[in-house]
Structure 1
């Protein structure tokens, strides 16, 4: 394809040379030269027909990846899954994803993300370097490099889809929701953190950069900023899922007013690893909760946040930092969880257990049996023992309208645990709690979403409470069996490949009828 400059030079040469001479000297055909002479404009003309497939694929893949959140690390967002979802070839999808991230060989470093803040016209990322030390010290990723590689793509896609690259074309006062001085204060308060800033309008004072001792790196060109951002993220030990969830939720708002710090999405409706989230998930009594129980609850959040998969090794240093408890306590708690079969310790360290269909059926059969004993006992007790259960039911009813799967799950398990406590059967309640710990782990690993079933959960819990209030154990148990049956079918179905084993499930629960 000839450039406009080439065409102009060839046409100008025709004024002093023959058509044959210009064709021989330039390599252009005589017919092209005649056509160019007849044109008033020698600039490139728009091409008609189908647009380049790769450009279209880039836009489609970018839109999907931008809203994936922490799920970007899962199988649903592999290049094969994206190709199947879009109808594009896997090679084309792979090229699109590669354009959003970095090569796997570039991943690895000792940085830790500490801050992400956005408000037109500034976008700020803060990172600190972890001190090396211990077997899991700094110097390498705390999670599998491929997971970081995918999460880089998720963040890059979110920034592009949110229109951050078009900030330079906005009017100066358009959509300015966060005062620039507030964003600059975050840099000033960052201590020794390194900051990467996208500043298309030149709002960062020159003295801030000059006095930062190379801590602040400012870019006005979005493409350059995006490459620097990929490099910074590639050098991180982990990219928390709470950040991806927050960005994916705010893509349509242009990331206005986003503020995220130290694995806690301040603007998110639900933070992933904060002390507040520990309180929200506290279905165990605070005064009797051990470090192991703390860890079991926090580990569920960590699995979702870092997208751990079956067989992955738990990083105790990372968990210690996020829980803000001593490393020795975390190590001891992980060993206890291995002993209790909550985690797999067969290959050294503590790993997420491999979950089979048989494991799911076994767990729910045990839960169904214990639940029936609990409900029979509770139906015989005075009404005053149902007060904590009623309060827990109100939490379930309050969580359902939010359509948050995590909130619905927490509230429902809390309600079930209050049923066990109120039964007056200490051993049954203790075993029920142990089974609940394992159930939480299963739910996290399989990434179950309870939001579509929220109405059914509320209906079942109300029906059980109403039956218990009447002392009607038979009806309460019927509702409980239906509730467990629905849950086990849903969970077993997510294991893929193998269908729900109806025969085995019937054999395990037949004697309970």
Structure 2
């Protein structure tokens, strides 16, 4: 059993020696030294019992199911597929999914969904019961839709509500943060049907919800609302995919401004990544990734698979095939990346750029500075702006068990970008995104493997999110600085081995403290 002091000395030795030299001098194996170097705290850890795996699995599965949309009914979101994607056992995933829905035996098909709307502080769901003599068409359609599809779609709706943080509305918001007028939502209760309302602040008038025969049932407690909602959805003959797509699209914004009618279903917009007319002329932050950011991600995979090295020319035809987008779109994106100095265009075409240790220090110093500004701003904003950040954090948590370096790095950078976008600082978010794209290329060129550091990445991201939830900018910035410092040492070490310029790095970042 190694002492905490021994571990600290061994990690310190890595700053002046190679991994092999440090292993020979300390007697610890190289894998053990790598594990110690990835830890933020080298003190003795308490020996605890079995970790709360199911609780963690529930959060991970909720995050994945919430953004599935109508695809929740397909094979890609079966319990087996979710288990493979998360690295969890199928039995654990199955328990998580069952908690989000109702048993197949409770799917009755006696009602139809007519309305879904939300905007702080209300969530409204309307159904209309089919009369016994209401027509053969409805009865026939009820037998066409498989009960298991309804069961899965109920899970999608429940997961969207939980992931968007609706259950915490009463604690996180007050009247000045409303985006949808309450009067407009209450007016929806005058339609034809029975309505279930999540009403944590008591906004629904008593004359609407009182009485045994009332058509409006209001629930002040979120768990009660979800229980009744799952039961009512289980009575529906179908749950339209357009509603699932709308919830998946809005979950990142806390389900603010959702309005779905049976007569005017939601029509999702075409994603910019599948459109023939891709917009790549702006670095402005977007809720979805830009084509250039997608290209940077795909480029990393292409570099790794094809063995690209600094100075090599990039083949746009291969990228077009990999990304399944038009060749003209890839050519335009590559030209944009050359214009912004992400790629080298000095010798014609787009080439992998050369990277020096000074480039690495420069990049990380800039990210550290902008990151501090972002965190200070975000700590001052209302809690609702943390919803997309929390979703990104759950993707980091879901990626860590897979032990895939590419997945962990991609999820972590996306989490950082969501911090910038949620800060409300447009120029800072724009600059941070440009630096993120450059960092993706650096990572791909150096072929860094982040899988050994996945636990530390999750720990740091959780710590930053917890601090921001408490409006504690100081702690969030301390975690951020440590996270960036570890990353720059790892990257610069691959470039220069023992030529990491400690003095330059200290000078670049000293004034940020």
Question: TM-score if structure 2 supplies the norm length?
Answer: 0.44
- Larger-gyration structure (1/2): 1
